[in-house]
Amino acid sequence: MNHPRSPLSRRSWIGNGLSSLAGIAFADLLARDHARGASSGPTPRLHHPPRAKRVVQLFMAGAASHVDTFDYKPLLKKQHGQPWDPGEQVELFQSTPGACMASPWAFRPYGESGKMMSDIVAPLGDVVDKIAFIHNVVAKTGVHSQATLLQTTGFQLLGFPSAGSWVSYGLGSENDNLPAFVVLPDHRGLASNGAKNWANAFLSAEHQGTVIRPGDETPIRDLFAPESDFITAESDVAGLETLRKLNLAYAEKRADDNRLAARVRSYELAAAMQISATDALDVSAEPQYIRAMYGLADEGSRIDDSVINTRAETEFFGRKCLVARRLLERGVRFVQVWSGNDNGHPRRNWDSHENVQRDHEPLARGMATGAAALIKDLEQRGMLDDTIILWTTEFGRMPCSQGSQGRDHNPFVFTNWLCGGGIQGGSYGPSDEWGYKPQSSTQRTEVYDIYATILHQLGIDHTRLAVRNNGIDRRLTDVHGHVLKEVLAS
């Protein structure tokens, strides 16, 4: 069922009594005339029974090295320092291929499966048997901006909705006082493309990601009126009410334009978030053992970050993972958690051209602590069964050296992993002996397959979640994608 966008707001559908799982915005998949029709119409349904109802995307900005984290390649250690020769000419992003480069860290077996992982991601060893590692993911480009867009939106070009926006559109929020799609960026800045990674594009504006910055003095900007002798609580409420009435009067004359309706909804949501979001961000009520599990530091955001260090990275990423859990249990559908910002010096991202050991170690240990805690926490609350965690990055890094200590971009193969929501643990789709390309040239995984699988677990057929834009039926998976059935639990 491919249909145009509906102008109806989420609130109008709530009054019609749609189930929270089927969602509010999923009604947009129905025909325009039905979506505009009477409340007596049938309740929209998912395409098939779901195994999951929410998603967390953990995004490592800058390109995390698979061969230094999850994809064990003993050949790199055996031939360390020798000329690297994959048997073909290799064109890299900003260097010529150097010598074969072993990982600076030891790999050890974890879990009943004996999955080999690097020491810098050791905290994930406690939950490794629950994780599906997909080692043959390929990108289309080695350029950060395009590759990041591909992983967040399914397209290399601007102008397409984020995966979180599609999930918001498809399912809506379970909590009318919180947005369906929340973004927790790196506190030091945004990744390549900035807000375009969570934009709604041609979907209604209510489906764009809402940015929250845990640990900041103002985690949600413009949520509260600024301190002023002129502005009072009463005048603030009165002003918003007047603005609401003016907007509604304007919108009634332009029923086919949903932009203002989305803006009105954003004001209503902001008012509701003054209570709901503040509560979700307050981790002080969490037991000490939970805060310790996530690696939170006593000094919080005031922790010393003058030099990149493991303790600070653990605090930053762990706090976002804990807030993500609190948002998910309050009904948010999709939470995007970022590690790393756009390029700067000294580096605070995974783009380790100069020194992979310097950059990756604190980032990876912090990430692994927070991600492992999130998996354990969701499981002990009975939420892991219906929550999907996606770990990704824009591409991988080369098995050869750049200079003497860095690694250049590798768009030819890298690793994603999935956990929860009906996903079974294991390793799938191996890369070659170098970690340079997929082991099989005919068997590779693309971002479309990852999202087709996630949507399937959410009860959505990825080929039917589509919106006509500029005369073309657009979807998250473009014209590609197949469900990775081998990673699904029976």
Domain segments of the chain: what residues?
47-214+283-487
- What is 42-109 written as a DSSP string? PPP--SS--S-SEEEEEEETT---GGGTT---HHHHHTTTSBP--SS----SSS---BB---SS-EEE
| Residue 389: predicted pLDDT | 98
Beta bridge partners of 81: none
Over the stretch 70-113, which tens digit does the pLDDT of each residue have?
999 999 999 999 999 998 888 888 778 899 999 999 999 999 99
pLDDT at 374: 98
Answer with the residue of higher pLDDT: 477 or 282.
477
Mean pLDDT on 247-274: 69
CA angle 183, 62, 293 (to 5 degrees): 55
- Give domain 47-214+283-487's CATH number out of 3.40.50.720, 3.40.50.300, 3.30.160.340, 3.40.720.10: 3.40.720.10
CA dihedral 86, 87, 93, 99 (to 10 degrees): 50
Q: Which helix (H) or strand (E) holds 379?
A: helix 356-380
Q: What is the pLDDT of residues 343-395, one digit of tens each?
A: 777 788 999 999 999 999 999 999 999 999 999 999 999 999 999 999 999 99
User: β-pairing, 181-184 with 210-211?
Assistant: parallel
Say what the pTM is: 0.86
Amino acid 11: pLDDT: 36
What's the pLDDT tens digit per position in 180-211? 999 999 988 899 999 999 999 999 888 999 99
Whether the per-residue pLDDT at 42 is higher than 50: the answer is: no
Nearest residue to 120 (alpha-carbon basis) of 365, 448, 423: 365
Yes or no: say if 467 and 478 are a contact pair by the CB < 8 Å rule. no
| CA distance linking residue 340 with residue 325, whole number of Å | 20
User: Which residues, 6 or more positions from 155, have their beta carbon under 8 angstroms from its beta carbon?
Assistant: 149, 478
Contact (CB, 8 A) for 463 and 477: yes
Q: Region 122-134: what's the mean pLDDT?
A: 98
The Cα 298–Cα 294 span in angstroms is: 12
Asked whether the predicted pLDDT for residue 304 surpasses 50, the reply is yes
| Omega cis (within 30) before 109 | no
